[in-house]
Chain A
Amino acid sequence: MLRHAKLLLAAPLLALAAACTTTSPDYCAVDVRGEIETAMRTVETKLGSGCEYHFDGYFQSLLTLAEANPDKNNRRYFSDHLMRVQEMGVISRRQAEGLYNRYFNVKFVSLQGDYNTCSQTCPIRKQVMSDMQAELHDKELGLLRASNDAASFYRADHLLKETDLVLEATCRACVAGGTR
């Protein structure tokens, strides 16, 4: 009986304590504007004080801000920002690399793997090409619109087309090898 009473008392206290440590939605809201580096620092402060689950939203807002203020240095700012966020433990190294390369590198994250092309890529070639196409849209935002780097974007665009051609031929050759 006494044990039940203690439990009844403890429950509201625990709830109260939880409410104190949980940040309110307003606390994590950031008005991402102004200088991109300053906005990144603000976001990092928030990420370091309980708002790490808002990382995706912050990242998209920073991209939007960069798009509105295109600059070739934006690529470096995003790299530095992702490195710092990774060091804070908000995201893993793999996530940081994935995001950077998806938006700011000519190479495609969607075309990676350690097994040979016949066995890894050919069975899912259409899916890979579709993923690369989607990634090219992100590169358009990161490289072309945010970083003003048309040359790199067109290189990525060309790489996508070349990959399509080479994979078509290679995968046909792989299939033919299995049947002829």
Chain B
Amino acid sequence: MTPLTYRGPVLMLAALCLLASATGHATGSGPVVRLFPTTVLEDIRETGQVAEDMENNLQQVIHRLDMQQQLYTESLCQGADGDQGCERIAKQLGATYLEMLEVMSDRLPEMERAVNSTRSSLEKRLRQELGQRTTPTSLQNTLLGEAGTATPNAEERPALRGRSGVRLSDRFKQYYDLVSTSKNGPSQSLAVVAADIYLDMEEASQLIAFTQQEISRAALMEQLNQSFGMITPEMSAVVSGVKEILFGETAMESPIASPPYAIGEPEFESPLAM
């Protein structure tokens, strides 16, 4: 049983808490920005579940692929034309690669639907709440957490885009937890989280569409290659891409970060301040 399975009843409670905290701030800081209604939360949760299913299906195949690749490299097969042993490894590698493509081909449509659904619901909220109902001035206030709300601690702030080394499903769990259990009041970090998830979904959506296009072409190429036993750069690129998306196996990009806010004496308030 995955941790997400427990969250059914928690979902409603979290959404209610979010709504309550949002209403609480409405009095002091202008219009309330509601970026994560229950429908969006449900989309995020479901996308995480679909990603987890896909990972579980692919993990074993990709592990086998890695082992075969390692064997191929360690056996110094690169450029060893005519070696029967190497040809056999290459064919096995190609067959596993085809298996991976088949699994992806089966799973990607569902993933695509879930990702597009999340992207589309967030897109609507961002457009309505931050694009149409917010002015540049109030957007700035929202990001700063106007009306004297406490600035969040560094560890409570969401890590922003570019996090690697994180499984796709874990990333969705983080998103979900972050949004559904938000303690810092509405809008402040949530605008950033919403933007973060939306841009991630945009990229994922494009990548899925691209991968789907590539799968049929790659499968055909690999079927041809099976007769010759070749490991093509395309194969490596596709496998790397899949691993990067699903398992976050790339070099760490630096997230948006700054030194933590210092807690000190009250700040000087100028009558000229915005």
Binding site for B on A (CB under 8 A): 72-73, 75-76, 79, 82-83, 96-97, 100-101, 104-109, 111-118, 120-122, 128, 150-152, 154-155, 157-159, 161-163, 165-174, 176-177
Complex CA–CA separation, A177 to B264 (angstroms) = 44
Interface size counted on chain B using CB atoms at 8 A: 42
B143 contacts the other chain (CB 8 A): yes
Instruction: Say whether B198 contacts A173, CB under 8 Å.
Output: yes
Instruction: Say whether A170 contacts B131, CB under 8 Å.
Output: yes
Can you name the residue of chain B whose Cβ is closest to the Cβ of A114? B135
Complex CA–CA separation, A121 to B151 (angstroms) = 26
> What are 6 A-B pairs with beta-carbon distances under 8 A?
A72-B268, A76-B270, A79-B272, A113-B135, A155-B144, A173-B127
Chain A residues with Cβ under 8 A from B123's Cβ? 172-173, 176-177
Chain A residues with Cβ under 8 A from B161's Cβ? 165
Complex CA–CA separation, A162 to B193 (angstroms) = 10
Complex CA–CA separation, A167 to B202 (angstroms) = 15
Instruction: Say whether B274 contacts A177, CB under 8 Å.
Output: no
Q: Considering the complex of A and B, which 9 residue pairs feature the smallest CB-CB distances, nearest first?
A: A169-B195, A79-B270, A100-B272, A151-B262, A118-B131, A173-B126, A173-B127, A158-B258, A113-B136
Instruction: Say whether A117 contacts B136, CB under 8 Å.
Output: yes
Can you name the residue of chain A whose Cβ is closest to the Cβ of B126? A173
Chain A residues with Cβ under 8 A from B192's Cβ? 162, 165-166
**Given A107-B140, A166-B139, A168-B199, is A174 in contact with B274 using a C-beta cutoff of 8 Å?**
no
Beyond A117-B130, A163-B140, 18 additional contacts (C-beta under 8 Å) are A72-B268, A75-B270, A79-B268, A82-B272, A97-B273, A105-B273, A105-B274, A116-B132, A117-B135, A117-B139, A150-B259, A155-B261, A159-B144, A162-B143, A166-B130, A166-B139, A170-B131, A172-B198
Instruction: Say whether B135 contacts A116, CB under 8 Å.
Output: yes
Instruction: Say whether A176 contacts B273, CB under 8 Å.
Output: no
Instruction: Say whether A83 contacts B271, CB under 8 Å.
Output: yes
Complex CA–CA separation, A34 to B141 (angstroms) = 38
Instruction: Say whether B272 contacts A83, CB under 8 Å.
Output: yes
Binding site for A on B (CB under 8 A): 122-124, 126-127, 130-137, 139-141, 143-144, 151, 160-161, 191-192, 194-196, 198-199, 202, 256, 258-259, 261-262, 264, 267-268, 270-274
Complex CA–CA separation, A104 to B144 (angstroms) = 16
Complex CA–CA separation, A66 to B141 (angstroms) = 28
Can you name the residue of chain A whose Cβ is closest to the Cβ of B134? A117
Chain B residues with Cβ under 8 A from A128's Cβ? 136
User: Shortest distance in angstroms between A139's beta carbon and chain B's nearest beta carbon?
Assistant: 13
- Of A75, A173, A177, which is in contact with the most chain B CB atoms at under 10 Å from its CB? A173
Contact partner of A165 (CB less than 8 A), chosen from B134, B256, B264, is B256
Chain A residues with Cβ under 8 A from B274's Cβ? 97, 101, 105, 107, 109, 112
User: Shortest distance in angstroms between A132's beta carbon and chain B's nearest beta carbon?
Assistant: 10
- Of B123, B134, B136, B274, which is in contact with the most chain A CB atoms at under 10 Å from its CB? B136
User: Shortest distance in angstroms between A172's beta carbon and chain B's nearest beta carbon?
Assistant: 7
Instruction: Say whether B144 contacts A115, CB under 8 Å.
Output: no
Instruction: Say whether A97 contacts B264, CB under 8 Å.
Output: no
Chain A residues with Cβ under 8 A from B137's Cβ? 111-114
Chain B residues with Cβ under 8 A from A163's Cβ? 139-140, 143
Chain A residues with Cβ under 8 A from B202's Cβ? 172
User: Shortest distance in angstroms between B202's beta carbon and chain A's nearest beta carbon?
Assistant: 7
Instruction: Say whether A157 contacts B136, CB under 8 Å.
Output: no
Instruction: Say whether A151 contacts B136, CB under 8 Å.
Output: no
Chain B residues with Cβ under 8 A from A109's Cβ? 274
Chain A residues with Cβ under 8 A from B199's Cβ? 165, 168-169, 172
Contact partner of B270 (CB less than 8 A), chosen from A100, A161, A173, is A100
Complex CA–CA separation, A62 to B77 (angstroms) = 71
